[in-house]
Amino acid sequence: MPMFGQVFGSLNQLYEDYDKRVTEAYEDRLEAEQAILDIQDERLELVKVGSEEATEFEEKILEALIQKEQEAIDELTSINESITDANSKLLSTLQDKLDKLREQRENEKTEEDLTEKERRLAYFRQNTGQGKLMDIKKLEEELEEGHESYTD
């Protein structure tokens, strides 16, 4: 039986070695799986950080584009206001010129009318007759009123 004890001892030793190796292999496998899980977690974290950085970058680009568009809008608004102001000044100047031309034309008409009345008055004074005294008085009044309104 000693041999059986030796064989049994050897088998027991082999079994213990096998069990130890299987346990080590299982533990190595668990460590490898944990390492893979850690790597996947790190990868997900990097993707998350990269995604956040990409989002921040996109937001910065969008803000820059919005700012450029706003600057363009502000510049065009300023140009539009300048054009509107220039148009208003031009229209005001044209209106002033038209008013002066109308006033000048009205003055010329008034002067012509007064000149015509003065000519008629001079004619009536040269040809004095009883019927003409009323016309002379009327023309003198009209001339006086005309001169007063013209000088006002």
Query: What is the count of structural domains for the chain?
Result: 1
Each residue's pLDDT tens digit, 92-149: 999 999 999 999 999 899 889 888 888 887 887 787 666 677 777 887 888 788 777 7
Per-residue CA distances from 72 to 50, 66, 80, 86, 114 (Å)? 33, 10, 12, 21, 62
Each residue's pLDDT tens digit, 48-79: 887 888 889 899 999 999 999 999 999 999 99
Contact between 136 and 124 under an 8 Å Cβ cutoff? The reply is yes
Contact between 146 and 113 under an 8 Å Cβ cutoff? The reply is yes
Q: Burial, 139: exposed, middle or buried (Cβ in 10 Å; 0-12, 13-18, 19+)?
A: buried
* CA–CA dist 8, 69 (Å, integer): 89
Between 93 and 12, the more confident residue is 93
Its domain, for residue 133, covers 2-151
